[in-house]
Chains A and B, each alone.
Chain A
């Protein structure tokens, strides 16, 4: 039972083997880092201390406002800098992951701030009355309730991050779309011994789109389901 044309099999396997794991790795690292950094920043934003609020607000508005591609290119083109005696230079993969994390953490921070601020004041007062300090209040009372409201949008963020990993294409990371592009180059040059019919690009990029759809669509449904159940 093999619906794929002969010339396409190796290409599909190449995309699945070389590209998809890279996409998923980048997305996983970015989403975890974004969540950690974003929740911390978002909670800090609720402290009534103007300079801190302004600083985090600046971080959020810059990394959310810029196109992710611009952030990626900026980080990738940064000249190497010296940390102590080591010459540090981010690889393409690291640059992309960092850029996605900056964007993702800004999104999470904003969402966290909204969620925490939506917790009624009574909760804060009751927790304070029970003897919780500020950190204790956040950790044991506020955040558990706030984070519940965050879960559906966070699943949505994961979907966005997975899709945004294709931006790493621009700096040469071998993720799913880049894998498809390289094979497309190979067949259209006629110099690699690979032959393909003229509708090859349609099938190759259609296949890439299909892969993303198969990953993202279930997650989108999950987010909708959680929205109904949790909030």
Chain B
């Protein structure tokens, strides 16, 4: 099949990942108090220090208020109605993939994620997270030969407690914000990754998140540590069934790059966006932050946000090490009633630090798209550089695009550049494509893809194709 055909096929579908897998699951009853946290911790067989950490976070959370400053409208969340832990049965330790519930393997196959190592052609190692737990990780053994640790967070707590304890909460403390505190209290699983000094990770590491059970929230936690002079590229994908109620996804991702290390973190977010009238869909309230701790370290975020009813997140970089580099490349698409308030924070602390922000917002239907970003150059950050470019594209006249760039500079040697454009997809562009035989749907897809090119070119090859298809699907019905 050619790309155009694939795109067309995708464009003809509605949200295709909306199915529910029929597996038995162990769930805690809905509701949240200290006993819930004790139970989660006990179910996971956690050490006391982690339980303590959770409880401290929970007590802090109780003192906080659900924030309302973003430019999104949403239903208030009843935190007592959420199920905080749900795991597919049987919950025994898995020695190999053969023991994974075939229903689950099939689910991931359906999502295009083959967990069968034999079948995987490309060099991607996958950690599959289903509701609250990691169900399988591929290529762990091969990676272990290089000293790379890649697997579920729960496993890491058991097998590498020192590393987890040292870095957990070091970039995003539980006091950071309301959802980060909630996550620290109730997080169930997620991925953990450690790249030893001098190692260049030979394959893409990937986590695939799937919410399945009704009424659950997903609170995963990801921690990636790249030791001195190491390099890693990490991918994250996510889907959820179609349900009428809003489901909360409040993840925390922490990245730590030590001296000379590079972390590239890519996300293709395709949570269920709700129906055309805005019923249902995921509330995607995520805290993602990377710390460029060492000299000449680099953290690069690339995100393609097409799903979720509401997306609210700012993958950020703290540029602590001298000459460290932060990058943020983002495509956010909102169609129908979707809302996105996303952007980044680049905190320049070290000397000669530099950052790049490229944000592409696409609004269709009655979608609302907000870029909100902060470039913060601290006093000691001599010779800091930033370049920001925020472009918005509007499809139709019922949608909105908003840009809030905040710039705070406390060092006079800083050079900060900001460019912003807003364009409306042109009737003349569409007619031009039509006149060459290209259908309107394909034309819109093509024009939007062209608009996003600078971001897509940052994605690993495999994801770039997926991202293009996703845009086509998400734009379905946006032109009439």
A in complex with B: no
Q: Which residues of B contact A (CB under 8 A)?
A: none
